[in-house]
Amino acid sequence: ISNCVINLSADKDRVLAEAFRVLKPGGRLAVSDVVTRGDIPADIRRSVELWVGCIAGALDAGEYRAKLERAG
């Protein structure tokens, strides 16, 4: 279970891969996270205040789904 944590990770692919690795066979991963509808401009991604507010690390919803599918 993850609640607004993965978006703060610098290596989201690694986090998701590890989460799926440790699941029991047939297990399910539940995620509640911040996503966007489109790209975030570079100046926003560099903002410390927006990282603290969980916005700068957010992925586009489609990109997030693709990462989940690749991970497991």
Instruction: Say if CB 39 and CB 17 are below 8 A apart.
Output: no
Decide which of 52 and 45 is more confident: 45
In which domain, by residue range, is 31 found? 2-71
- Per-residue pLDDT at 24 exceeds 80: yes
The per-residue pLDDT for range 5-19, each reduced to its tens digit, is: 888 888 999 999 999
| Domain count for the chain | 1
Q: What is the pTM of this model?
A: 0.67
Residue 50 pLDDT grade (very low, low, confident, very high; cuts 50, 70, 90): low
